[in-house]
Amino acid sequence: MMIRLGIPLGIIVFWAFLALFGPILSLTPNSIELSNILLPGSAQEWLGFDDLGRPIFDRLIVGARTSFFVAFSVVAVSLVVGSFLGTVSAYLGGWTDLAFVRIIDIFLAFPGILLAIALAGVLGPGIDNVVIALSVVGWVGYARLARAQVLSIKERDHIYAAVAIGTRPIQIMIRHLIPLISAPLIVEASFGIAGIVIGEAGLSFLGLGVQPPSASWGSMIRDGTRYMLVAPHMVIAPGLALMFVVLAINLLGDCLRDWLDVKGQGRRE
């Protein structure tokens, strides 16, 4: 377990370190040097330069900060909003739950990334609008999961006991329901981070995300596609960074799911 966890966790910690402490480094991501245009990696600049002579390594670190901020902001908003709405809907039941299910069905009728693209196009480009667009799409999965979990546990004896002693519904949901459904929600959030990183990169690739001169892995890949034959390092560097981060998050999510799977652990023992 620790071997499986070590490498993915190391990659994620390194990604977080670059995102949080990158601004204190002496970076020049927007420094244009015409003499360095499309130069490959060297001992002075490991990853080379882009089509404007800007250092790719510095821009990669700035892109790490962008993806980190968007991913955790969207997942935090989606997790809180979706879990709360799904819990309330399942606990109240009746017409409230029926109406909520229909709203979820409407959102699920559209592919998530296409709905995010449409929202980002309406709101306009920018990192704040990317967070809003992805959050509007992302809460549905957490709400659906929370609702299913609450439906399976709200008939338990301790819930009836809480109702019998006069505990208010909001207190029952916060103290007795949400803690019991937190494990699957945490696992879902771990996989959700990987999806948001891909989503942010996709929107930036289409020009709907972070705008120049700010850097994003998606926009770096877009800029590099025009020079694939003469300067492949412009695409390889951000592409590998994106792949390693998403793969590490998914592997960490698998380990977290196995660790929190109490029933599965009992069967294996």
Name the strand (E) or helix (H) holding 266.
helix 262-268
* Phi, psi (rounded to 5 degrees) for 29: -70, -20
Q: What pLDDT, in 10s, does the model give residues 96-107?
A: 899 999 999 988
Q: What pLDDT, in 10s, does the model give residues 100-141?
A: 999 999 888 888 888 888 888 888 888 889 999 999 999 999
* pLDDT at residue 267 greater than cutoff 50: no
Percent of the chain's residues with pLDDT above 90: 46
Q: Tell me what the mean pLDDT of segment 53-70 comes to.
A: 92
CA torsion sign, 233 to 236 to 239 to 245?
A: negative
Alpha carbons 78 and 70: distance in angstroms, whole number: 12
* Domains of the chain with CATH codes: 2-20+45-261 (1.10.3720.10)
At 171 the three-state DSSP class reads helix
Q: How far is CA 111 from CA 26, 115, 137, 205, 218, in A?
A: 41, 6, 9, 18, 20
Give the distance from CA 87 to its chain's centroid: 22
pLDDT of residue 216: 92
Strand-pair partners of 55: 49
* pLDDT at residue 269 greater than cutoff 70: no
Alpha carbons 191 and 119: distance in angstroms, whole number: 22
* pLDDT at residue 3 greater than cutoff 60: no
Alpha carbons 70 and 168: distance in angstroms, whole number: 36
Torsion of CA 240, 245, 249, 250, to 10 degrees: -10
The pTM assigned to this predicted structure is 0.87
Q: How far is CA 102 from CA 151, 244, 254, in A?
A: 17, 37, 31
Q: Hey, what are 103's tokens?
A: 């709203």
CB contact burial 164-182 (16+ within 10 A = b; e otherwise): eeeeeeeebbeebbbebbe
Q: Tell me what the mean pLDDT of segment 22-28 comes to.
A: 81
* pLDDT at residue 27 greater than cutoff 90: no
pLDDT of residue 1: 52
* pLDDT at residue 196 greater than cutoff 90: yes
Q: Hey, what are 100's tokens?
A: 């909520």
Alpha carbons 214 and 63: distance in angstroms, whole number: 8
Q: Tell me what the mean pLDDT of segment 4-18 comes to.
A: 86
Q: Hey, what are 82's tokens?
A: 């979706």
Q: Nearest Cα to 70, choosing from 200, 190, 185?
A: 200
Number of CB atoms found within 10 A of residue 70's CB: 27
pLDDT of residue 4: 64
Q: Which DSSP letter does residue 52 get?
A: T
Higher pLDDT, 112 or 49: 49
Average pLDDT, the chain: 87
* pLDDT at residue 266 greater than cutoff 80: no
Instruction: Tell me the pLDDT band of 195, cut-offs 50, 70 and 90.
Output: very high
For every residue of 128-141, DSSP letters joined together read HHHHHHHHHHHHHH
Q: What pLDDT, in 10s, does the model give residues 155-190?
A: 888 888 988 888 888 888 988 898 889 989 999 999
Q: Hey, what are 192's tokens?
A: 């959700």
Strand-pair partners of 49: 55
Q: What pLDDT, in 10s, does the model give residues 209-240?
A: 888 888 899 999 999 999 998 999 999 999 99
